[in-house]
Structure 1
Amino acid sequence: MSIAETTATGPVRSLVPARLDRLPWSRFHWLVVIGLGVSWILDGLEIQIVSQAGYQTTLGLSAGAVGAVGSVYLAGQVLGALFFGRITDRLGRRKLFMVTLAVYLVASGIGGLSFSLWFLLVFRFIAGMGIGGEYTAINSAIDELIPSRFRGRVDIAVNGTYWGGAALGAVANLYLLSDHLPTNVGWRIGFFLGPLIGLVVIFLRRTLPESPRWLMTHGRQEEAECTVAEIERRAASGGTELTPVPDRLALEITPVDRVSYLKIAKVFFRDYPSRSFLGFSMMVTQAFLYNAIFFTYALVLQHFYGVPKAHTSYYFFPFALGNLLGPLLIGHLFDTIGRRRMILFTYGVSGLLLLSSAYLFQAGLLNATTQTAMWCAIFFLASAGASSAYLTVSEIFPLELRGQAISFFFAISQGAGGVVAPFLFGHLIGTGDSAAPDRNPLTWGYVIGAVIMIAGGVIAWYFGVDAERRSLEDIANPLSATTNHREVTS
C-alpha cells in the first residue's frame, strides 16, 4: 500500500485511537508481539553469551578488560536509547525499529570477528546502541498498536521475555564454550546467534505498519486513516464484525512538528512532576535489585556455598525460568486487578521475600539449591514488577514524547542499577572469600535491596496511575490535541 505523505497543518478530527482500542485480538496483534518483542530476547541472549567471556583467552584479556566489555555494552544502550528515542518521536516508530535492529545485527556480527580488545569494544558499544534504540522504538510501537484492554499484559510479557533469551544463551554456552569446539570458534558462533535470529525477524517487521497514532499527531491524517482501515481489515479477517465508533470519541488534533528540549522539561517537571517521580522511582528500584542479584549470583554460589565456577550456569536455569514465568503468568492481572495494586503487590512481596532470604542466609539455613529456590520465588514477582516499570513510563506521558520518556528513564535506571548495584554487592561479597566467610555485609546488602524495592511499591501505590483498560490519550492528553480526551470520552 503506497500513500503519499501529505501533511496537514490545521486542526483535524480523528477517530484513530478509538478505532484501534476497540479491535479484538487478532493475528495482526500476534505479528506485532513477535516482530517487535524479539528485541528483549536478543538482549538477554547477548548479555548471557558475552558474560561467559569465552573470548577472554583468545584475545588475551584480563578480568578488568572483560568487565569493560560489559560496561561498554551498557553504555551503548544508554546512549542509543537517548539518541534513537528522540529520533523515533520525530521520524516515526517503523523507520526506527527497522534501523535499530539493523544496527544491532551488523555490529554484533562484526563483533564476532574481533581480533583485539579495541575492536571488540567498538562494536559492542555500537551493538548496545542498537538494542537501546530498540527499547524506545518498539515499546512505543507496541503501546500504540495494541488495544488498551490488552496493553498491560502484552507489554509486561514482552519485557519479561528477556529471560527467555538469557536462558537460551546459557544453554548455547554449555556447548559453545565446552571442549566440543575450539576455543577460538565457540564464542564467535555465540556472537552470531543474535544476528541470525534478527535476520528472520527483520522480514516480519517489514509487514508491520507505522503507528497510526504517530501519523495522526504528525499531520499525516490520510495515511493514519488508511493504515487503521488496513489493520481493521486484517483484524476482521476471521469473520469478526467490528462495532462502529461513535463520532463523539473523535479527538481534535493540530499537528506538531518538533518538541523542544525545553518543552520536554516542562512536561516532565511542570505538567507531570508526580509521574516523573513515579517513573524514576520504579525504574531505579527495580534496576538496583535486579542488577545487584543478577550480576553477583555466581559469586554468591561460589564464595558461600562452594559451587565450582563451571557449575554455576546450571543454577541459572531455574533462576531464569522464575523470571520468565512471572510476567507470562500474572501479567494479565495488571489489566484486570489494576496497575497500582499489582505494582504494590509485586514490588512489596518480592521485597519481603528478599528480607526473609536475608535472615535465612545470615542464619546459615540455606544451601545452593534453597538459595536458588528463594531467588526464583523473589523474581517470579519482581520480574513482573520490573516489566511493569517499563510499561508505566511508556504510557503515562504524551504520545509526542513517548520514545524520549522511555529513553530518559531507561538511562537513569541503567546508571543506577547497572553501575552502582553490581559495584556495591561485588564488594560486599568480596569480604566472604575465606574458609569461614563473613555473611554480615551481604546480609545488609540484601536488606537494603529489599527496603528499596518495598519503597518503590509504596511510591507506586500513592503516585501511580490507574492506566488499565484506558486509552493512551485518556491517560495523557497528546500535546497536539486541541480538546481534552478525558472530556471527550466521558
Structure 2
Amino acid sequence: MAFQQTAMSIDIWRFIASIGIGVELVNIDAYVSELAPQAKRGSYFAMNQFITFSAVPIVAFLGWLLVPHTLAGLDGWRWVAIIGAVGAIPIWFIRLGLPESPRWLERKGRVAEADAILQRIEAKVTAETGQALPQPHVVPGETAEVQGRWSEIWSAAYRKRTIMLIMFNILQTVGYYGFASWAPTYLIAKGYDIPKSLLYTFIIAIAYPVSSLIGTTFGDRFERKWLIVVPALGVALFGLLFANAGGAAAIILFGILVTFCNNIMSYAFHAYQSELYPTRIRAQAVGFVYSFSRISAVISGFIIADLLKTSGDVGVFTFIAAAMVGVAIVIGIMGPKATQRRLEDIAR
C-alpha cells in the first residue's frame, strides 16, 4: 500500500491488509476469553487493549512528525504505513510461542493436547500462589458433545443475544470510529491548520493506552454490561462538549474524555461479546456480529462526512450522541450479566 501511486491501488492493498486485521480482531477476542481466568477476564482484556493501543499515540506522533515532509523521495504518510507494516514481522515470531486454547482443542477431540496445556498452566499457577488449586466445578450440560454450527446463533438460546450484538455493533461504531478516525478533520474544520490538528490529535491519543491501563484496575469490579452503558453515555456527553468547545485546552480536555470513555467501552464489549457464546461457535458468532461494526463504519463515514459539510461538528456529534444513547438502551435492556462467571455458565 505504501508504494502505490493511484487511489484504486492504495484501496486494494488496504483492503487486503484489512482482511488480516479483521481476522485478528475476532481470533484475539476468542483466544483471550478462553484462556483468561473468569475472575480477571475483564482486566485481561483491558491489559490486552493497553498493549494494543500503545501504538495509537506512537502512530499519531509519527503522523505529526512525518506526514508534512518527504524523506528519501517518499511522502511522510508512506513512511508511517511502512513502519506499521514492519511491526507485523516480530509479531509473527512472538505468536509462534503461544499455546493453543484448551477449550478449542477439547472441542476438536484433541483432549491429550488440551490436558497437557492445562497441566502446564496449573503447574505455573500453583508455583506462583503456593497453594493447591480447587477442584474444577462442572457446569450442568457442559460435557455434552455438540457440533457447533453457524446457524446455532439464531437458535432460541442465542437469538436475542445475536440481535442485541448486531444492533450494538452498528451503533457503537458511530461513536468510536466517528471520533477516532475523524478527530483531525474536526480540528481542521474548527480552523486549526494540519500540523496543529495533528499535534492536538497526538495529545488526545495518549489517552488510548492510559485509559485501558486504568481499566485494568476495575475491569472485573463492576458488571460488564454497565461498563458499556455508562461510558457510552459519557461519549455522548463529552462529544457534544467537544463540538462546542472553543479554546485549545477545552478541545484537548473533552477529546481526552471522549477517548477515555470510548476505550473503557471498547475493552468491555470485546470481552462481553466473546463471553456470550459457547466455544463451539464463539469465533463464528463474534465474527458475524462484529462484521456489522465494519459495515457501519463504511456507512457512518459517509453520513459523518455529509453532516460535517452541512451541519458542522455540532451536527456530527449530535448524531454520535444519539447512537451512544442507543448503545446504552440496547445493552442496558437486553444484555445478560457476565462478569466473573465461567464461559460455560454464561453461554447456557
TM-score normalised according to structure 2 size = 0.89
Give 1:406's match in structure 2, choosing from 262, 265, 286: 286
State the alpha-carbon separation in 2 of the partners of residues 131 and 377 from structure 1: 27
Q: Which residue of 1 aligns with 2:204?
A: 319
Q: Which residue of 2 aligns with 1:240?
A: 130
User: Which has the greater radius of gyration?
Assistant: 1
State the alpha-carbon separation in 2 of the partners of residues 332 and 149 from structure 1: 13
Residue pairs, 1:12-411, within 5 angstroms? 111-114=1-4, 119-159=9-49, 161-179=51-69, 181-184=71-74, 186-238=76-128, 240-246=130-136, 253-256=143-146, 259-261=148-150, 263-267=151-155, 270-304=156-190, 306-358=191-243, 361=244, 366-411=246-291
Q: 1:192 to 1:298 in 2, by over 3 A?
A: closer
* Cα offset, 1:120, TM superposition: 3.6
Give 1:443's match in structure 2, choosing from 300, 306, 314: 314
Residue pairs, 1:447-458, within 5 angstroms? 447-458=318-329
Give 2:330's match in structure 1, choosing from 456, 459, 466: 459
Give the superposed CA RMSD. 2.6
**Is 1:283–1:389's contact at 8 Å kept on the other side of the alignment?**
no
**Is 1:286–1:382's contact at 8 Å kept on the other side of the alignment?**
no
- SS in structure 1 of the partner of residue 325 of structure 2: helix
**Is 2:227–2:268's contact at 8 Å kept on the other side of the alignment?**
no
* Bigger relative contact order, structure 1 or 2 (CA pairs below 8 A, ≥6 apart): 2
State the alpha-carbon separation in 2 of the partners of residues 325 and 114 from structure 1: 35
Task: Show CA shifts across 1:61-120 (max 9, x none).
Answer: xxxxxxxxxxxxxxxxxxxxxxxxxxxxxxxxxxxxxxxxxxxxxxxxxx3444655554
Give 2:342's match in structure 1, choosing from 471, 478, 483: 471
- Greater shift, 177-186 or 463-472, is seen at 177-186
**Is 2:61–2:199's contact at 8 Å kept on the other side of the alignment?**
no
Q: 1:245 to 1:452 in 2, by over 3 A?
A: same
Q: 1:316 to 1:390 in 2, by over 3 A?
A: same
State the alpha-carbon separation in 2 of the partners of residues 356 and 189 from structure 1: 35
- Greater shift, 308-317 or 347-356, is seen at 347-356
State the alpha-carbon separation in 2 of the partners of residues 205 and 383 from structure 1: 25
What amino acid maps onto 2:343 in structure 1?
Answer: L
Q: 1:112 to 1:356 in 2, by over 3 A?
A: closer
Task: Show CA shifts across 1:359-379 (max 9, x none).
Answer: xx1xxx522431232121122
**Is 1:289–1:421's contact at 8 Å kept on the other side of the alignment?**
no
* Cα offset, 1:392, TM superposition: 1.6
**Is 1:343–1:385's contact at 8 Å kept on the other side of the alignment?**
yes
- SS in structure 2 of the partner of residue 271 of structure 1: coil
Q: 1:162 to 1:233 in 2, by over 3 A?
A: closer
* Cα offset, 1:237, TM superposition: 4.0
What amino acid maps onto 1:403 in structure 2?
Answer: A
* Cα offset, 1:357, TM superposition: 4.2
* Cα offset, 1:341, TM superposition: 2.8
State the alpha-carbon separation in 2 of the partners of residues 331 and 457 from structure 1: 22
State the alpha-carbon separation in 2 of the partners of residues 233 and 191 from structure 1: 42
What amino acid maps onto 1:295 in structure 2?
Answer: S
Give 1:426's match in structure 2, choosing from 305, 324, 336: 305
Structure 1 stretches of 4+ moved >6 Å: none
* Cα offset, 1:161, TM superposition: 4.6
What amino acid maps onto 2:82 in structure 1?
Answer: F
State the alpha-carbon separation in 2 of the partners of residues 115 and 455 from structure 1: 41
State the alpha-carbon separation in 1 of the partners of residues 162 and 50 from structure 2: 23
Task: Show CA shifts across 1:322-366 (max 9, x none).
Answer: 2332222134424112113322221123323334445xx1xxx52
- SS in structure 2 of the partner of residue 158 of structure 1: helix
* Cα offset, 1:307, TM superposition: 0.9
- SS in structure 1 of the partner of residue 152 of structure 2: helix
State the alpha-carbon separation in 2 of the partners of residues 300 and 188 from structure 1: 23
TM-score normalised according to structure 1 size = 0.65
> What is the aligned-residue identity percentage?
23
* Cα offset, 1:471, TM superposition: 0.7
Q: 1:324 to 1:281 in 2, by over 3 A?
A: farther
* Cα offset, 1:274, TM superposition: 2.5
